[in-house]
Chains A and B, each alone.
Chain A
Amino acid sequence: MGGGEPVLEVRDLRTYFPTMRGTVKAVDGISFTVLEGETVGLVGESGCGKSTAALSIMRLVPAPGRIVGGEVLLRGRDLLKLSEAEMRGVRGARIAMSFQDPMTFFNPVMRIGDQIAEGIIRHQRLSRREAWEKVISTLEVVGIPSPRDVAMSYPHQLSGGMRQRAMMAMALSCHPELMIADEPTTALDVIIQAQLLELMKDLKRELGMSSLIISHDLGVIAELCERVAVMYAGKIVEYSDIRRILREPRHPYTVGLLESIPRVGFKKERLIGIEGSVPDLIEPPPGCRFSPRCKYADEKCKEDPQLIELEEGHYVLCHHPVMGGG
């Protein structure tokens, strides 16, 4: 897979939130692409801007947040230049998004089937009856055992795993060109998470869809994605194919992140972790934003680092990339 045409190209995207204390630069100049049939991961810890990046692509940034610069190209066309009416034709139809918490995503007083049908009726101009047939078949695709019952249910009547599947069905119902999944399995128990991960891999194989997965969990990203962008404090600090990042991480933050994760397949070795905490995004540290927590930081790191291509397709935003896999 990969090597196809770009479905999504994000170029120098900036999304800022004005606050009383100053401007929070939640997403500060990120660029990446998702190719046809490819799954790309955006990984990072809370507050790194990964969810804001996803919302920016959908143009759903909550006020007072604003996209202040950059381009979001869907098959070459800049979504940031579309009118709001045109954008409504993109959301749900060409790009669909699923969220971490399906309980707050679904309308609590509407049947699941009606909610999924809404998008189908709107985007595909089908009758209600035809739309419901599609709802049932899509619920079947996401592995729901009794789709008719689930379609007739209200959100609170379903378990967390079922709700997540129903949300995925909603996202898939209009055959989007790109699917964005924000923390698709975070709220679930491991057994249910494994079921969902297997489902997502199956869907990817069968539908050949392009997707962007947002997660804090490198394990989830490693299972689903071919390429990954690691975010820290509003910037992409490392970007490469997943195997290379896991084997030979070059950014000190990625190295630290990998050394922080205990592995179920290994016996204990000491975890290292990263001391300190994420910087204030109103007045980020000058130069490299990771430098206050970085053991390799020196004078040079007070200047902004440039994204450099260390080897083909492996980009790092760092003055002192780690050699030899850390």
Chain B
Amino acid sequence: MQPIVKVKGLKKYYPVEKSWIDKLLSRERRWVRAVDSIDLEIERGETFSLVGESGSGKTTTGLVLMQLVEPTEGEILFEGRDIFSLREEERRRLRRDMQMVFQNPYASLNPRMTVEEIVGEPLTIHLGLKGEERRGRVIELLDIVGLNPGKYYVDRYPHEFSGGQRQRIAIARAIALRPKFIVADEPVSSLDVSIQATILNLLQELKREFKLTYLLIAHNLAVVRYMSDKLAIMYLGKIMEKGVSEDVFQNPQHPYTKALISAFPDINPDVKRDRVLLRGEIPSPIAPPPGCRFHTRCPFRLEICERDEPMLVEVEDGHLVACHMVE
């Protein structure tokens, strides 16, 4: 079966502003390599997660997929069509199928719009709905996301809602056009844990009911394990490991993946574990280390790691790792 989303050789570089010294010495422009050549395939109906620390490029990947940022290089195929070679009109049509839920529901909802306007806006723009018809649709959507009765909430403003309720409004807006694919960028990380669980469950229910495909962007591995079918671990703009979620969790191969999993504080008092502690911090994406980008922090680094960049190799069915140790 054809994957719903296919990403090939995606790169996104952002230019670094030249300082006056750089100009004086006519130094070359430098680039932040936010995403540096990644490939992804997302199958219809699955939840695919992008995992990594801040600065790993996971959010940039999501933004490029949503056509909110132009890629520097590479292709993105949605249902087999390259989205960046489409005509403007077709691209607009495509937005109905691809929607996004953002991290911070305090920033992603316009404080001067009512819930009816927020959730109804895409209905007006794409389907031309107005008046009672639109209002009825919005109320229905609010009921679906658990803000029921919807008519009780429809005329309110965002400030009248708690964080969890706001995220429900953002989700109602995202599903308003019956999309096929949703990018959820840290959808619960700004919420309290008891609320997180209810939002994660809502996302799961909607996925079943509307046959959605998700790209989940998250740093919380417990959330990722709970939600995903497949995942990719990113570090400094590259994919270090990807595969079926349970394969990666049960049999992590890359030292970085092992470090991430062991770093996570767990509430099980009986688990004794040896942490793979990493030294130092994530290097700058302006001048990523040569060879394997992870070598500066890797506890197992070999000489080759400083020189040659490892390729992604398959270690078991569909489980790929970019590390010289596993070749």
Q: Provide the bound-state CA to CA distance between A271 and B197, in Å.
A: 6
Within 8 A of A (CB), among B49-80: 53-54
Mask for A165-207, Cβ within 8 A of B = 1, else 0? 0000000000000000000000001111111011000000000
Contacting B219 at CB < 8 Å: which of A190, A194, A247? A190
Complex contact B197–A219 (CB within 8 A): no
Consensus secondary structure, chain B interface: helix
How far is the CB of A295 from the nearest CB of chain B, in Å? Answer: 13
| Contact present for B201 and A223 (CB under 8 Å) | no
- Contact partners of A285 in chain B: CB under 8 A: none
Give the A-B pair count, Cβ closer than 8 A: 122
Bound together, the chains give a CA A12 to CA B283 distance in angstroms of 48
> A253 to B286, alpha carbons, bound, how many Å?
47
Q: Please provide the chain B residues from 248 to 270 with a CB less than 8 Å away from any CB of chain A in the complex.
A: 249, 259-269
Inter-chain contacts of B196 with A (CB < 8 A): 260, 273
Among B32-40, B149-157, B274-282, the stretch in contact with A? B274-282
Shortest distance from the beta carbon of B273 to any chain A beta carbon, whole Å: 9
**Given contacts A216-B193, A257-B193, A190 and B221 within 8 Å (CB-CB):** yes
Beyond A45-B194, A257-B194, whether A267 also contacts B264 by CB under 8 A is no
Tell me if A53 is interfacial: C-beta within 8 Å of chain B.
no
Please give, as numbers and ranges, the residues of chain B lying within 8 Å of A277 by CB-CB distance. Answer: 162, 164-165, 195
C-alpha spacing A121/B219, complex, angstroms: 41
Tell me, rounded to whole Å, the shortest Cβ–Cβ distance linking A176 to chain B: 25
CB contact under 8 A between A219 and B267, given known A194-B275, A271-B197:
yes
- From known contacts A189-B54, A190-B263, A268-B225, infer whether A198 and B193 are also in contact, taking CB-CB under 8 Å: no
Number of B residues, CB within 8 Å of A? 39
Query: Are A273 and B260 in contact (CB-based, < 8 A)?
Result: no
Are B225 and A193 interface neighbours, CB within 8 A?
A: no
| Interface residue from B194, B249, B269 paired with A273 (Cβ < 8 Å) | B194
The residue on A at minimum CB distance from B197 is A273
Given the interface contacts A257-B194, A273-B198, A277-B162, does A191 sit within 8 Å of B267 by beta carbon? no
The listed residue (B192, B195, B260, B267) touching A258 by CB distance below 8 A is B267
Distance A194 CA – B275 CA, assembled complex (angstroms) = 8
Known contacts A190-B264, A263-B267, A273-B195; 9 further A-B pairs (Cβ under 8 A): A45-B194, A46-B192, A189-B53, A194-B265, A222-B265, A262-B223, A262-B225, A265-B271, A274-B197
Smallest CB-CB A-B distances: 8 pairs? A273-B197, A219-B265, A194-B263, A262-B226, A260-B197, A274-B194, A273-B198, A45-B192
Task: Give B contacts to A, CB under 8 Å.
Answer: 53-54, 162, 164-165, 192-198, 200-201, 219, 221-223, 225-226, 246, 249, 259-269, 271, 275, 277-278, 281-282
